[in-house]
A and B are shown apart, each in its own frame.
Chain A
Amino acid sequence: MTTVTEKAKSFIQVDKRDGRLALAHIYVAFMALFIGGLCGLLQVLVRSGQFTLPWGITYYQILTVHGVLLGLILTTYFIFGFQIAAVSRTAGTLTDKQRLIGWIGFWTMTAGTVAASIMVLLNEASVLYTFYAPLQAHWIFYVGMALVVVGSWIGGIAQIMKYVEWRKANPGQPSPLITFMVVVNLAMWIICSLGVAVEVVFQLIPWSLGWVDKIDVLLSRTLFWYFGHPLVYFWLLPAYMVWYVVIPKIIGGKIFSDSLARLSFMLFLIFSIPVGFHHQLTEPGIDSFWKFLQVVLTMMVVIPSLLTAFSLFASFEIRGRELGAKGVFGWFKKLPWKDARFVVPFIGMAAFIPAGAGGIINASHQMNQIIHNTIWVTGHFHLTLATTVVLTFFGAAYWLIPHLTGRILTKQMNRLAIIQAIVWAIGMSIMSGAMHIVGLYGAPRRSDFSTYGGSEQATDWIPYQIAQAVGGTILFIGIILVLYIVAHLLWFAPKGETEFPIGEVSEHAEKTPMVLENWKIWLTICILLILFAYTIPVIDMIQNAPPGSKGYKLW
């Protein structure tokens, strides 16, 4: 039993100045959630066929806002807020220089976000968050996007600098697990976002400024998807950080295996990037051989998730048995089902089962033809990103925000948080379920309401779109609920001390082999795999490039 002094020593509070930097990111994240979520509501209402947008706003403008604000801004900002706090909590308070760099990164990203958003609101950039050429947005939109990426590099460097400082001060020691995971995520992010940076800076900006007339469309798409797949792991890995490091502490248990956790993250580093072709499986100009090779690599990136599933169940079972659970599944009942900090991320974990299964189907080479660009894909990423990742982030916010604001999560807010997650799960089951089914029937994604010339097949899709509207409306209620809780935790909750839970490794675990922190080896493998998967097909694409395309503004 811990004494008062032990307890006082073991409560680690993130430094207020680092907390302010983290909170700035969290503010932007939740603002993006509100606006992006509102757009989502409008979208499902339009697609039910029962609602038209006012004031000359177009569906594709709204869709662009939805994708950019939720897929790029909510995510990146929440992740950075979380990561900054986690690094400060476990590797030590940032130095003034590191924090300043963090702020420069924040403001650079925010300037870019504002610039890009204004262009979209002015209907100058209704190109969706993938901004595929030769649809051509206003150059300020692309500059805004470039600033978001560059700003993220700057902010990321601040976090990496803290890690480097820790390693110099603690030679031969494995770094704090969550800091290590943050750095793996940032390494992956920087390596992959170089691709989209090249596309934006060297192709899209000169082309949209009129400095060059034509653009190589296939190359631009390839650079985007070189970035676009690891992007989803950039979103997923912070959720895994919560599951591996925070959840064990919340349930009162220990981290199942520090080594396996680090191994899974290094496997993500090497396998998340050389797989972009599985988003381009139905495109011309790329050999089936290279598509299949990247499909093989894609199946390999499933493996660290299989490792994670085992680790999580094991940490639950070990803790449950410690509490006296008997039988094969008795431990399940012993989990803290009244604690939102556990329940909300747990629903996210459960959603990852159908989410991951769907992803494996999507990546299965020619089987992709069943679902490519149908609304099944939208159903898929509303499970992976909008449920697994987002609910885990909400669950983390319920201790992170009060920890940083010096407040507490009250019993009522805790209960409301669980209700919010259930509302979310119901809304998402209906919406994503309908999307998966009707996508198999061929209903397309990214499409305004249409009767497709009265086609019988298209008429059969409409009831599913109505179901999507029902689900989407319930989800929007969920958004209002989470914003209410977050506002409470930011400004109105009672003052107090909230723990930033960081799990400890089990005493029975072995020492972590330092090879798992040997950046030279893992980064080399990462780069070699990228070169292996991409060099020949990209050279082929450049050498055989047909005449490029001029820009089109078709909205």
Chain B
Amino acid sequence: MHIHKYEKWWLTLGVSSLVVFLIIVGISAFHYGSHPPSAKVYIDPERVDEIAPFNNPGVHKVEGKDWDYEVVFVASAFYYNPPEIEVPLGSTVKFIATTKDVVHGFQAAGTNINMMLEPGYVSEYVTTVDKAGEFLILCNEYCGVGHSTMTSMLKVVE
């Protein structure tokens, strides 16, 4: 099959660009640990409130881990517990969340914190909060009539 020389140049540029993209995101993920949220932690969705750490939602200082704080959220239709959290600027935070009923989203607007909460699964994400401010946490997966009223607030304070 004959391919025009310019088409070969184009395919070379195109495929190389895609390879560059894959190398960048691949190294970020597998070398620097910047994976999309992919926790494999399981829970009985009907007993969430009784099972640690969800029996104690909120901000918890921890020692001896790669992160400084664990922030535990329980989502349900149409509410996040806790409705507001505060963490110090510059700290490394692990978000741990699950849902008691249907699939909910969990996104802190204007940040990369964005994960799906699915019944039976615990979602986790670690990040260093290096900007001060108030970040709206909202549900971005349709969950019923109250979907657009589900909010919490992430406050990163000096």
Which A residues contact B (CB, under 8 angstroms)?
58, 60, 128, 132-135, 217-218, 221, 259-260, 263, 280-288, 291-292, 295-296, 299-300, 302-303, 306-307, 310, 314, 360, 364-370, 372-374, 441-450, 452-453, 455-458, 510, 513, 544-549, 552, 554-555
Contacts and interface: CB of A to CB of B under 8 A. Distances in A.
A365 B29 contact: yes
A443 B107 CA distance: 10
Given A259-B1, A283-B116, A554-B102, A295 B107 contact: no
Interface residues on B, range: 35 or more
A548 B101 CA distance: 11
B120 A545 contact: yes
A458 B136 contact: yes
Contact of A260 (B1, B6, B41): B1
A366 B121 contact: no
15 contacts: A60-B145, A135-B144, A283-B37, A283-B116, A284-B37, A284-B116, A302-B14, A360-B18, A366-B112, A372-B140, A374-B140, A444-B148, A446-B141, A547-B44, A549-B119
Given A292-B26, A457-B136, A547-B45, A314 B103 contact: no
A292 B143 CA distance: 28
B44 A306 contact: no
A513 B1 contact: yes
A40 to B, nearest CB: 17
A366 B28 contact: yes
Given A285-B118, A310-B7, A544-B40, 14 more contacts: A60-B144, A134-B119, A217-B119, A280-B116, A284-B37, A285-B121, A299-B22, A302-B14, A303-B18, A307-B11, A310-B6, A366-B34, A442-B107, A458-B138
Contacts of B30: 292
B113 interface: yes
B142 A366 contact: no
A373 B36 contact: no
Which 9 residue pairs are nearest across A and B when measured between Cβ atoms?
A442-B109, A554-B144, A546-B120, A450-B148, A373-B140, A444-B140, A284-B121, A288-B35, A365-B25
Contact of B39 (A284, A443, A458): A284
Interface string B52-66: 000000000000000
A546 B18 CA distance: 37
Contact of A447 (B19, B41, B110, B147): B147
B79 interface: no
Contacts of B114: 282, 369-370, 372-373
A545 to B, nearest CB: 7
A455 B153 contact: yes
A447 to B, nearest CB: 4
A367 B112 CA distance: 8
A445 B112 CA distance: 16
Given A373-B140, A455-B153, A552-B144, A366 B7 contact: no
A370 B141 CA distance: 15
Interface string B87-121: 00000000000000111010111111111111111
B132 interface: no
Contacts, number: 225
A444 B105 contact: yes
Contact of A368 (B36, B77, B139, B145): B36
Given A288-B29, A366-B29, A447-B148, A306 B14 contact: yes
Nearest to B103: A132
Contact of A442 (B1, B38, B110): B110
Nearest to B83: A453
Given A259-B1, A306-B14, A373-B107, A299 B21 contact: yes
Nearest to B148: A450
B112 A370 contact: yes
Tell me whether chain B's interface is mostly helix, strand or loop, or mixed: mixed
Contacts of A58: 145
Given A60-B142, A284-B122, A366-B35, A299 B18 contact: yes
B61 to A, nearest CB: 25
A284 B29 contact: no
Interface string B142-156: 111111110101000
B118 A218 contact: yes
Contact of A291 (B34, B36, B143): B36
Contacts of A307: 7, 11
Contacts of A447: 140, 142, 147-148
B118 A448 contact: no
Which of A299, A303, A365, A448 counts the most B-chain CB atoms under 10 A from its CB?
A365
Contact of B10 (A300, A306, A374): A306
B67 interface: no
A466 B2 CA distance: 52
B105 A284 contact: no
B6 to A, nearest CB: 8
Contact of B45 (A455, A546, A555): A546
Contacts of A513: 1
A271 to B, nearest CB: 12
Contact of A544 (B21, B42, B116, B134): B42
Contacts of A128: 142
B148 A285 contact: no
Contacts of A286: 38
A314 B134 CA distance: 52
B120 A281 contact: no
Given A60-B142, A283-B116, A442-B138, A510 B39 contact: no
Contacts of A554: 77, 101-102, 143-146
Contacts of A282: 36-37, 114-116
A452 B138 CA distance: 8
Nearest to B127: A369
B50 to A, nearest CB: 14
A401 to B, nearest CB: 35
B117 to A, nearest CB: 8
Nearest to B26: A292
B100 to A, nearest CB: 10
Contact of A457 (B29, B101, B135): B135
